[in-house]
Amino acid sequence: MSVSEDRIAEFHRLHSEGCFVIPNPWDPGSARALEQLGFSALATTSSGFAWTLGRPDTKASLEEVLTHLRSIVDAVSVPVNADFEGGYAAEPEAVAVNVKRAVASGIAGLSIEDASGDPQDPLFDFDIAVDRIRAAREAIDQTGTAVLLTGRSEGFVHGRPDITETIRRLRAYAEAGADCLYAPRITSTEHVSAIVAAVAPKPVNLLINAPFMTVAQAARLGVRRISVGGTLARTAWGGFLQAAKEIAEQGTFTRFDGLPNVDGILGG
């Protein structure tokens, strides 16, 4: 098998049993550091990457994201999942074209979400949303790869916290060809358990962006995969901003104590 095929096969194996954490680097350096810490797979973060460009989440272009995906894939030897937002298109046919381009970057998986970008109607209509997942599945199959497809429902992110509708969508995405199901911002054990049961035996990704659950607790609920979205990037921004604010306001540098040897971490 090729390197890409090996990573895809390993990514599928990780989803077959147990519970694993797939943290989200925002650049090649953070990706390499996470790999060296022993994580078995990584996932990009649309927000973390956009911040490196000086923009808010969702404001990176398709071309910028494709270049970013290749840079992360090339930096590590573990499988990489792409946060591919909504496929950078609305119509299913255009989503399919873009998914094929993402697959060519060497990723082992990607996610497609149902957020429309319209504040008045933040989720794509149900039928269109399902067609978009189906188009992504067909596009992956046409590449001859087994890139793992995650279907995301964004109701709890965009002011539509309806667990019944979320489950309806996730079930439909599973039937349309999604290999893994994901509803970001789910934070109650009851909702997590309901989603796991509703889409079984397909695996579920849980976002943990606050300390509301441990890996062991998520595993007991049947969660297969845990991601952290842009939260690691925000912790880095937090340390940076605190140190910079101290310099600007107090003229002191106390936060420069106890810093890591980054060259040592990255093999310098």
pTM of the model: 0.96
Q: How far apart are CA 132 and CA 117, in angstroms?
A: 15
Sign, Cα dihedral of 130, 134, 140, 145 = positive
Residue 268 pLDDT: 59
Residues 244-253 pLDDT 10s? 999 999 999 9
Element (H, E) at 77: none
Q: How confident is the model over 145-181, as pLDDT tens digits?
A: 999 999 999 999 999 999 999 999 999 999 999 999 9
Distances (CA, A) of 204 to 23, 110, 133, 243: 15, 14, 16, 38
**pLDDT tens digit string along 178-209?**
999 999 999 999 999 999 999 999 999 999 99
For residue 242, the tally of other CB atoms under 10 A from its CB is 10
Q: pLDDT value at position 267?
A: 86
User: Whole-angstrom Cα distance, residue 109 to residue 136?
Assistant: 11
Residues β-bridged to residue 91? none
- The CA distance from 134 to 124, in Å, is 14
Assess whether pLDDT exceeds 80 at residue 1.
no
